[in-house]
Amino acid sequence: MGAEGAGPVPDTLKIVIAGGFGAGKTTLVSAVSEVESLHTEEVMTSESVGVDDLDGVEGKATTTVALDFGRITLDGSTVVYLFGTPGQRRFSFMWEELAEGALGAVVLADTRRLTDSFDVIDFFESRGVPFVVAVNCFDGQRTHRADDVRVALDVEDRVPLLLCDARDRDSVKEVLTELVSLVLRLELSGA
């Protein structure tokens, strides 16, 4: 309980936003956060040449090196904290830290670099963390059908797969709502 007159202590939920390098995780967190989101982005330098593969994201000039953070208040007593992971495999030690205590995760997939999603999906599957796959439709372009992406990623039917626009608040809210619905279904079924 909070201090007298302060009301109940808010319930908090933690959701991880993960995906490959350049998939749009920072953009997604920024689109939906009610507060100015925190980003640990750094300018990419010549040191990343030969380390970071820019195929499909040639215009990318910055990269997340630790995390992105945002917050959403659902009602007077429930707060959702969003933690975006770095996308490069060399920062995967952060995935473990950020996934600790998470309600679930959103795997943000980029069809230009779909293979970047495999490690992230494997990560959450191996730890039993519920997740949804959200295919980021850059510039609002739906270039692939959800069923085709599901097959390409070899994602089971029980895992929700949605098309979204990481820049659009309403689209991101749909993804987060689907994740919370999945977690509730799993809890009710005892899975």
pLDDT by 10s per residue, the chain, length 191: 444 445 554 588 899 999 988 889 999 999 999 977 755 565 555 555 555 555 555 555 555 555 788 989 877 778 899 999 887 776 777 788 889 999 999 999 998 889 989 999 999 999 999 999 999 987 666 678 889 999 999 999 999 999 999 999 999 999 999 999 999 898 888 76
Q: What is the DSSP letter of 90?
A: G
Positive or negative torsion for Cα 166, 168, 173, 178: negative
CA-CA distance, 176 to 109, in Å (whole number)?
Answer: 15
- Whole-angstrom CA distances from 184 to 101, 114, 130, 138, 189 are 16, 28, 10, 30, 9
Structural domains for the chain: 11-48+62-186 (3.40.50.300)
Q: What is the pTM of this model?
A: 0.80
